[in-house]
Amino acid sequence: MAFQDFDKIQERVTAERKRKFRKRIIVGTVSVLVVVAAIVGGAFAYVSYEKKHEQVAKNNNKSNDITKDSQKTSQNPSPNQKAPVSAAQSVKPGQANKIIQSLCSSTLYKLTCEKTFKNRTEKSIALENPTTLLKSAIEAINKDLDIVLEKLLSLKTENQDDKDAIAQCKLLVEDAKEETLASMNKVNGTEVNNFAEIVPDLDSWLSAVMTYQETCLDGFEEGSLKSEVKKSVNSSQVLTSNSLAMIKSFNANLSSVIKVTPRLLDEIPSWVSNEDRRILRAVDIKALKPNATVAKDGSGNFTTINDALKAMPEKYEGRYIIYVKQGVYDEYVTVDKKKANVTMVGDGSQKTIVTGNKSHAKKIRTFLTATFVAQGEGFMAQSMGFRNTAGPEGHQAVAIRVQSDRSIFLNCRFEGYQDTLYAYTHRQYYRSCVIVGTIDFIFGDAAAIFQNCNIFIRKGLPGQKNTVSAQGRVDKFQTTGFVIQNCKITANEDLKPVKAEYKSYLGRPWKNYSRTIVMESTIEDVIDPVGWLRWQETDFAIDTLYYAEYKNKGPSGSTTSRVNWPGFKVINKEEALNYTVGPFLQGDWISASGSPVKLGLYDA
């Protein structure tokens, strides 16, 4: 499974031990066999009763008919787990329709939402945890993704670009299916009162599902084939949007119908081990005790990073540490989804460098140009450099693509020109890093915070306009966005002498609900006073985007001459707090890892 927390493994081990212990007690306690038999008989009757009603709950169909909605708007469960009594008692007769209407009230596609639950009865809902309704909504996404896969497999074309787009889309839809399954398993068995505990994961994973679908479509050139695929993908996009909306307002909406008492979250997640807590505090490499050492001169276990990754055990429990000694490693590296909790530590961001030169100019899709790809959950990198040397003539050329959930980068350097850092999906944290580029050089649809970073705008091709960011949120309920906090945005040495010839901006809207917040940062005069740039000189997304600034300083930190778009805001302290590490990334997992982090505002 792509998203498996190692505390869950421990939970299963503990559960298995308890089961064996109970078995020994039963076998050894001969004197109470009669009592046990009575209990077993009662349990059998109860299970039979439960199974009868579980079958009712499974008779759940959905409709792909979203026409009217479109006109109005343009994770493993225990098989023996039964519905919590507290949830069943909280639903009273006559409330089923009210619960469904309440859950659907905040969605953009209400008719589709209600159709998703249309075969649910008063009796089935009364016997279930109401979160089962949300699970069925996510199941509907998964079923629709199966339809998309069938469609992709049926497409016939002789055009190689189209073939490549279909192949890429298929992989992305499979990624989306993994995350919907992870979400379903996460919801399964969760009581209403505990729902808030799983919301961050659901938000992150389903936001990624939305992004995968959008990236699929982006891979096709405009034309009939793209239109055909888009029509197929549209239904699952609608269902994903509805699920995200329901998650966002689940407790609030249900509280008007049934009694909901949310439980407080733990301060530090249980999945964080003591080992994780010390890793990023380590300064002495010897004290780090790496599992593998990579060195080009042969002084380590491996001479390439890829060889070190291949040698990693398939089911390694804990954090796997790879020390990469000084050197320039000319290789394309992917930390795949099966390799969770990998840490890479280098000798310095300008000493240990992973480099490549793939680019869009070489007829390679932007998504596939990345020198380094981080997919496995919980990836950490410290004192590493990631580079794409295609140059400005290569146009889109990615140094690193990050889609690892709860990933951390400390004292790293990302160097390229256009599309340097692809912060693709999930929750990401960057601290004291250097990011260098020209056009859209921090882009993607992750929920990412850049803290204490130096962002350098470099000299590109004559006549080009530079943009620091291009955030790609496609739906208003996605919990994604870029936050640039306490950073410095300035001109690179090659741009300084000619910065007047190259207009530079904080960002531009890649997708409809693009969201970027720049706060408590120093903005040098390399940035144009208007601050933000339109997408290809159009009004695209200026009403629906969310661009905000708070307490920036420096020559271009003033907001007096900023764009007057409806989506641009100068926010106050209360609003800015929503985009700090604590609430925006549920950032206790960062501080628990041992990484330095500011959870709130610097001026607090």
Catalytic (active-site) positions: 440
Task: Report the alpha-carbon distance of residue 363 to residue 358 in Å, rounded.
Answer: 9
User: 554 CB contacts (<8 Å, ≥6 apart)?
Assistant: 488, 489, 521, 522, 523, 524, 525
The helices-and-strands tally (H runs, E runs) of the chain is 17, 26
- Are 542 and 571 in contact by the 8 Å Cβ rule? The answer is no
Task: Report the alpha-carbon distance of residue 298 to residue 236 in Å, rounded.
Answer: 50
Task: Report the alpha-carbon distance of residue 184 to residue 176 in Å, rounded.
Answer: 12
- 286 burial (CB, 10 Å; 0-12 / 13-18 / 19+) is exposed
Pseudo-torsion of CA 214, 215, 219, 220, nearest 10°?
-10
H helices present in 332-440, as ranges: none
Q: Spell out a b/e string for 348-378, using b for 16 or more CB atoms within 10 Å of the CB, else e.
A: ebeebbbbbbbbbbeebbbbebbbbbbbbbb
Bridge partners, residue 483, by sequence: 449, 517
Task: Report the alpha-carbon distance of residue 482 to residue 485 in Å, rounded.
Answer: 10
Task: Report the alpha-carbon distance of residue 99 to residue 255 in Å, rounded.
Answer: 10
In single-letter form, the type of residue at position 459 comes to K
Residue 279: closest CA among 240, 321, 224, 314: 321
User: 12 CB contacts (<8 Å, ≥6 apart)?
Assistant: none
CA distances for 529 relative to 52, 210, 533, 548, 562, angstroms: 67, 34, 11, 15, 6
Task: Report the alpha-carbon distance of residue 272 to residue 266 in Å, rounded.
Answer: 12
Helix (H) / strand (E) containing 288:
helix 285-288
Using alpha carbons only, what angle is made at residue 141 by residues 137 and 146, rounded to the nearest 5 degrees?
145
Tokens of 286: 């010897």
Tokens of 109: 């596609």
Task: Report the alpha-carbon distance of residue 573 to residue 591 in Å, rounded.
Answer: 23
Task: Report the alpha-carbon distance of residue 439 to residue 425 in Å, rounded.
Answer: 20
Bridge partners, residue 467, by sequence: 439, 505
Bridge partners, residue 374, by sequence: 335, 402
DSSP symbols for 539-567: -TTTTT-EEEEES-BSTT---TT----TT
Tokens of 498: 């000619």
Q: Is 235 left (phi over 0), alpha (psi -120 to 50) or beta?
A: alpha
